[in-house]
Amino acid sequence: MVTSAVVNTYPLSSYTFGTKEPKMEKDTSVADRLARMKVNYMKEGMRTSVEGILLVQEHNHPHILLLQIGNTFCKLPGGRLKPGENGILLYFFDSYGTMFCISNHVALFNSAEIEGLKRKLSSKLAANSTGLQPDWQIGECVAIWWRPNFETIMYPYCPPHITKPKECKKLFLVHLSEREYFAVPKNLKLLAVPLFELYDNRYGPVISTIPQQLSRFQFNMIHS
């Protein structure tokens, strides 16, 4: 994992985009999606999802890469981790051998989640041939959202009195290198949306607050 307060962003033109076979959504409606989430919860417990924030620059302003489904719905590349890919530490030992536990333990992510995110990014954005896989550099976690019930609402904290959240979603910064080849599934469109358009707009609470969560980083706008 890369911890750095400086993010290099390259122009959109520095990247090449191709297509690959469609990746259809598993659910056709919000109700279906929540119902399937409930079934999975009964089998596997809390869902952990990981999503990547990939940045490019245009006109000296950072842009985020979003996948558009259909005409309106946009999401970040990422997805659900498999059970076991989210080894959650509830207790750990500091260097003095003292054990302590933290209530919001899921904030301590580990390499299994990082590997899971790389898997998801490749699934959504990389070409199928092994020779063209990007070397994903996963950066810091910038946000964690919690779903208390089988509903669409998520919060940036686990609400009080909720002991069994249904989903935990973590957003990670991804440091792109200067040149990459992305293969986008045929049924999706890849958009580069400027931060000023995301802020406070129609992309939903998780995506709309990304500009604030990125505001602590220094963007190094590199021109070709």
Q: Which residue ranges make up the site for another protein (CB under 8 A)?
A: 1, 3, 5, 45-46, 59-62, 84, 86-94, 99, 102-110, 140-145, 155-157, 159-161, 194-196, 199-200, 209, 211-216
| Beta-bridge mates of residue 170 | 50, 144
Residue in the structure block whose two tokens are 């520095």: 14
CB of 193 to another protein, least distance (A): 13
Alpha-carbon distance 75 to 28, whole Å?
A: 15
Tokens of 201: 């707009």
CB of 132 to another protein, least distance (A): 30
CB of 212 to another protein, least distance (A): 4
Select 69 or 142, whichever has its Cβ closest to another protein. 142
CB of 59 to another protein, least distance (A): 7
Select 80 or 185, whichever has its Cβ closest to another protein. 80
Relative to beta strand 167-175, strand 137-147 is antiparallel
- Contact (CB, 8 A) for 182 and 77: no
Select 167 or 180, whichever has its Cβ closest to another protein. 167
Select 90 or 191, whichever has its Cβ closest to another protein. 90
CB of 143 to another protein, least distance (A): 5
- Contact (CB, 8 A) for 120 and 79: yes
Alpha-carbon separation of residue 220 from 4, 60, 68, 146 (angstroms)? 12, 9, 27, 31
Query: In whole angstroms, what separates CA 132 from the centre of its chain?
Result: 21
Select 6 or 31, whichever has its Cβ closest to another protein. 6
